[in-house]
Structure 1
Amino acid sequence: MKKTLVLLAALAAALGWAYALRSGAFTPKGKIIKRTRFMMNTLCTIQVPNDLGARATGAAIERAFDRMAELDKKFSVTNPESAVYKFNHDRAPITDPDVAAVAGTALEVSRATGGAFDITVQPLVDLWGFYTTSASSQAVPSPEKIKAALAKTGWRRIILKDGRVTAADPEVRLDLGGIAKGYILGEGAKALKAAGVKSALLLTGGQVQSFGTAAPGLPWKVGLRNPRNDGYVASLPFDSEMGVATAGDYERYFEAGGVRYHHILDPKTGYPARKTMSVSVITPDPAWADALDTALFVLGPERALAFARERGLDVIVIDAAGKIQTSRENPARNKK
């Protein structure tokens, strides 16, 4: 689970804006239509300036939600009708174009980051129990169990050829949850544009995607909360196609022996990555942002920042000691 993104209250007060509680965005009062729907195990919110009229704008938002809900079912690991479920349980090859496209992007991120992002770590996730067991009953798995789970993982065992996804090992299972939300947000934005919407902000969990502006001359503004207190790390003005995704150690975790064990696992060791508190990736591509925030978290601050600077990415990293570092001097200024 990723930390919710919100705006700075001081900025809102200064501009006389209204605070949209669940969406995490400040927008000019009375000029934005907002809808929220539950999907992907979280609340998803879309905000659109009321330029087309209330009826047309509302219909466009519902159209986007319908497309997002359709994709949510496709990527589900628990829906028996999904391509992912059939792949994991029946060894059925994946030919669905959406799922295959996301798998392909995931493998690109894995290659680019040396395996720091891995869509086959489900056996480790299940072993640690972050999504199936209450924190009070969680415990650190034995080294033997972690070794056994690691033996069932490995992104190189996923084969993508001619739009068809197969596995080189029958024990490998696929979970695209670390990248699918970003892709789904992007598809929601496409559906809005197809309906004539010129500007919107979409939010789900710890990820925001936007295009256009909140109002003429006013960018969408998104803020990043400090993971350990009520302060803020940055305010990000978006006035073009742009988004941000955040991964952190503070949503799903338990403590044992004075040590915090969180859900972002290093695919190479099977244990939670240790050097980072949170990573935010700012980029126009929501699928890459979704996958890269996890990958860079695993790489650790030094390697994450080097990766980002080499590729011209805007990244905000908070290390385990709480030190805030950025890949550029002013990451709040998005690139055109």
Structure 2
Amino acid sequence: MPTWRFDAIGTRWEIETDEPLDPDRRARVDAVIADFDATWSRFGHDSLVTRLAQSGGSVPVPADAVAMLDAYRALFAATGGAVNPLVGESLVALGYDASYSLTDGEATPAPPDWTSILTADAERLAVASPALIDVGALGKGRLVDLVSAALADLPGALVVDAGGDMTVRGEARIGLEHPFDQTKAIGVATVRDQALCASATNRRAWGDGLHHVLDARTGMPVRTWAATWAFASDAMPADAVATALFFDGGPALAEEWGVEWVRMSTAGVAERSPNAPVELFMRKS
């Protein structure tokens, strides 16, 4: 299949199609990504979330805000507060900041009362006091859905893959990368007309055991689970569940949302939901 490869939002994208994408469709994809990045990137010096972190206040509500914050409320409840959209300052405190300083710092818990600080309705997105929003728990999945929607008129098979978070129209066989050895896979997934999202602690890792998957209650990286994969009809819920699976409550949320999943512990043991479309090569708990 023809594949369009490019870098955006800090990751490698691959869009596979039956025929090469024409310039108009490529421009459509570029515009969707640029708009999302200008709104939600905490690495952009003039993004909307950067401005809100500096001054607080309210702005016209972005198109994605209500859906994403609704999902965050479910994630927060399911994980006992471990997933929180105001974890941005916690990441910055550990060195995962806009300049990628990657310098060890002091663990900083996210505000547990985030729902009273960050609100959105049909008209306004508001931050009661300066706070850094980070939508990393589900934002890439949301963007994959938006890009897929922008190509909905494209005939034939389609794979939109943003660094391991993907939607598939048709069927694809996907290896599940071993988090301790990128040359190996722990299994193979068969993805049919659905989304697959993955998260792993070996990605965006630095310093002495630091990585991007934080427990918002402590501001420290998770230690029990090394990698997760989630399968859903759309990429945003798959991405959200892939994050939730690092914590107690993740499997229950997956069942509630009808999401199948696999996860691997730091001890090298795999768990899976009963109907996950995967063949595992390793021992299971």
TM range (shorter): 0.7 to 0.9
1:206 aligns with 2:155: no
Residue correspondence of structure 1 range 182-331 to structure 2 within 5 A: 182-193=141-152, 195-211=153-169, 213=170, 219-229=171-181, 230-240=183-193, 242-254=194-206, 256=208, 260-297=209-246, 299-300=247-248, 303-331=249-277
Tell me the distance in 1 between the aligned counterparts of 2:110 and 2:73: 19
* Alignment partner, residue 122 of structure 1: 88
Query: Which of the residues 170, 177, 190 maps onto 2:136?
Result: 177
Asked if structure 2 preserves the Cα contact closer than 8 Å seen for 1:33 and 1:57, the reply is no
Cα shift readout 1:262-302 (whole Å, capped 9, x = no counterpart): 221101122111211111111122112222222221x15xx
1:133 aligns with 2:91: no
1:76 aligns with 2:41: yes
Match of 1:274, as an amino acid?
A: R
Query: Which consecutive unaligned segments of at least 5 residues does structure 1 have?
Result: 1-31, 214-218
The answer to which structure has the higher helix fraction is 1
Q: Shift of the alpha carbon at 1:87?
A: 1.9
* Alignment partner, residue 40 of structure 1: 9
Q: Shift of the alpha carbon at 1:89?
A: 1.8
Asked if structure 1 preserves the Cα contact closer than 8 Å seen for 2:200 and 2:226, the reply is yes
Specify the SS of the correspondent of 1:173. coil
The 1:151–1:178 alpha-carbon spacing in structure 2 relative to 1, beyond 3 Å, is: closer
Q: Shift of the alpha carbon at 1:121?
A: 0.9
Asked if structure 2 preserves the Cα contact closer than 8 Å seen for 1:109 and 1:288, the reply is no
Query: Which consecutive unaligned segments of at least 5 residues does structure 2 have?
Result: 280-285
Tell me the distance in 1 between the aligned counterparts of 2:30 and 2:243: 25
Q: Percent identity?
A: 21
Asked if structure 2 preserves the Cα contact closer than 8 Å seen for 1:224 and 1:234, the reply is yes
Tell me the distance in 1 between the aligned counterparts of 2:268 and 2:219: 24
Cα shift readout 1:140-164 (whole Å, capped 9, x = no counterpart): 63xxxx3xx3265643232223342
Cα shift readout 1:121-154 (whole Å, capped 9, x = no counterpart): 11111111135234xxx4463xxxx3xx326564
Root mean square deviation of aligned Cα: 2.5
Match of 1:323, as an amino acid?
A: V
1:150 aligns with 2:109: yes
Tell me the distance in 1 between the aligned counterparts of 2:132 and 2:112: 8
Tell me the distance in 1 between the aligned counterparts of 2:239 and 2:65: 17
Tell me the distance in 2 between the aligned counterparts of 1:139 and 1:92: 30
TM-score, normalization: structure 1? Answer: 0.73
Match of 2:4, as an amino acid?
A: R
Cα shift readout 1:72-114 (whole Å, capped 9, x = no counterpart): 2222224454332232223231323324233333333323433
Tell me the distance in 1 between the aligned counterparts of 2:65 and 2:256: 28
Residue correspondence of structure 1 range 30-69 to structure 2 within 5 A: 32-50=1-19, 54=20, 57=22, 59-69=24-34
Specify the SS of the correspondent of 1:37. strand
Asked if structure 2 preserves the Cα contact closer than 8 Å seen for 1:83 and 1:96, the reply is no
Match of 1:94, as an amino acid?
A: V
TM-score, normalization: structure 2? Answer: 0.84
Aligned residues: 274
